[in-house]
Chain A
Amino acid sequence: MNFDLNENQQMIARMVQDFGQRSIKPHVMEWDEKQEFPVPLFKKLGELGLMGVLVPETYGGAGFSYFEYITAIKEISKIDGAIGLSVAAHNSLCTGHILSFGNEDQKKKYLPKLASAEFIGAWGLTEPNTGSDAGNMRTVAVQDGDYWIINGSKNFITHGKSGDIAVVITRTGNPGEHRCSTAFIIEKGTPGFSAGKKENKLGMRASETTELIFDNVRVHKDQMLGSKGDGFVQAMKVLDGGRISIAALSLGIAEGAFDAALKYSQERQQFNKPIASFQGISFKLAEMATELEAATLLTLKAADMKIKGMHMTKEAAMAKYYASEVAVKVANEAVQIFGGYGYTKDFPVEKFYRDAKLCTIGEGTSEIQKIVISKNLIN
């Protein structure tokens, strides 16, 4: 396996850096403070092709592989993790679900709009009482002729309010029963389908997180993804790819924090020396760099297996688990290296510190990743 960035990845990295410096970086703290989800930015990201990175060109996407996708998510997240999270959720969850499990009509209808960001996508699995334990969900779909009637609610949904469509996993059988869940595509404006409370979050504040509420929502059977009962298996496969996304997001946050700390430690003088010359700081930098490298390799390995079509549930969980923990640790150490300045909003590391924590929680906590990894180790 070649670990160097290929020519496309180099160009994508540069493109995101150029765009980010002009259109993201100047607004990062404003969006964060106001907890503003910048919809116009996502339209621009759509023009650049960053909202349909994995979607084939025939459906209006960029048609790249997971390697280029990781580069794009990582580079965005180095500038703003919240934007990285939203781009990742749009690409790998909502769009990824339709791409992997939609029929031809569904793909033709939705993928071009998602890839261009005419539609922003949401994806709903988590509920107030069932996060990691998705088999016991309470959002229920009941068949009524050609329609399904959905009742219940989802929470912690990225783009719940600003999203134009949502892929929602519902229960269509008895709780805990084998093949009891089914996925549907629901468009904004469908009667009874609305966004609830917007969460006020520690980090990732420019990425919108809300409730989704279903009050007798009538959805035509054509909106079902795959067959009745496929929902849970589909969701787990979508999350396999999603874990690579969150690993890439974690790498971006960690690299952003590390780069800032490395630069600062060589500029900041104490006792007439740059603080990087003290072992207490240089050893921190060595640990951060090594762990970041290890997290990168795990992520690339999972992506490589995904591209080759291999079973990579374990490797994706390992990449997500390790990279997210590394992001939290590196961001924490970066704040420490910045000292008092790191604790203020005038320097970027406090935001990396807040944003990083989401990575060990979203799309499966570290504990859930360990369950997934161990299940794949033990027969």
Chain B
Amino acid sequence: MKILVCISNVPDTTSKISFTDNNTKLNTSGIQFIIGPYDEYALSRAIELKEAAGGTVTVLNVGEADTEPTIRKALAIGADDAIRVNAFPKDAFYVASQIAAIAKSENYDLILMGRESIDYNSGLVHGLVGELLGIPSVSPVMKLDVEGGKAVMSREIEGGKEIVEASLPLVAGCQEPIAEWKIPNMRGIMSARTKPLKVVEPASVTDNIKLLNYELPAPKGACKMIDASTPEKLFDLLKNEAKVL
């Protein structure tokens, strides 16, 4: 089985977010970048599938040269090779178009990625890739098994889960507990240096969205504690101070 895992390079969840260049760019100074945690689950499942049934796992990242440590980590975890599309990942459509451009010529059986990246959290890329390639896309997938050219997946839905089946090739947006989270070992880290990492130039894509600027959400106000024996105080504050009643 030939599996493509698309990974995003995102700020660590503990990062303090700020902007530069008139609030048009993320201030990356002091920020540690990681593989998108949902993408990491997708990668872990891909490696489990490869270990069980053979095949190859290729990781793909759309990003500039500074994302290579993140890609190397994916190789250390167990991917066989990597492709970096040498471009800044402007928006979901741009990234999806780059993934589709690579996938068109490679005939992957499975294209896995996280249900969303944890920077913009738009959760669009898997659906767009499916559309661009004309193949099924399913998300969020919590369980994925492949048998006889078909994938059986368990999908989270409101208040329960849905079991779906689709023929390969397909795109899946993954989340835990799809696989046991994998930590690279020392041998993986050592071998990651010698695994192939191919850099390709981006396909030309029309700009649909222009970013004007970023704004941080308003800081959280102080928390007011109200004694449980005085619910009328809560009512008063909600009505007269917060004005939500």
Contacts and interface: CB of A to CB of B under 8 A. Distances in A.
Contact of B185 (A7, A8, A48, A63): A48
A199 interface: no
Which one of B184, B186, B187 has the highest number of Cβ atoms from chain A below 10 Å of its Cβ?
B186
Contacts of A50: 186
Interface in B170-214: 183-187, 189-190, 192-193
A11 B184 contact: yes
Contacts, number: 47
Interface string B42-72: 0000000000000000000000000001001
A63 B183 contact: no
Interface stretch (A14-22, A171-179, A350-358): A14-22
Contacts of B190: 8, 57, 62-64
Give chain A's interface secondary structure class. Answer: helix
Interface residues of B, number: 14
Contacts of A18: 183
A144 interface: no
B187 A11 contact: no
B153 interface: no
A140 interface: no
A62 B69 CA distance: 19
State the main secondary structure of chain B at its contact with A.
Answer: helix
Interface residues of A, number: 20
Interface string A1-17: 00000011011101100
A14 B193 contact: no
Interface in A28-69: 47-50, 53, 57, 62-64, 68
A7 B186 contact: no
B184 A15 contact: yes
A10 B193 CA distance: 13
A12 B189 contact: yes
B187 A62 contact: yes
A48 B182 CA distance: 11
* Residue from the set B190, B192, B193 with the largest chain A CB neighbour count within 10 Å: B190
Contacts of B187: 49, 57, 62
Interface string B112-131: 00000000000000000000
A68 B192 CA distance: 15
Given A7-B72, A10-B69, A11-B73, A53 B186 contact: yes
Interface of A: 7-8, 10-12, 14-15, 18-19, 47-50, 53, 57, 62-64, 68, 72
12 contacts: A7-B193, A8-B193, A10-B69, A11-B69, A11-B73, A12-B186, A15-B183, A15-B186, A19-B183, A49-B186, A57-B187, A57-B190
Given A14-B73, A15-B184, 7 more contacts: A7-B193, A8-B190, A11-B76, A47-B185, A48-B183, A62-B185, A63-B190
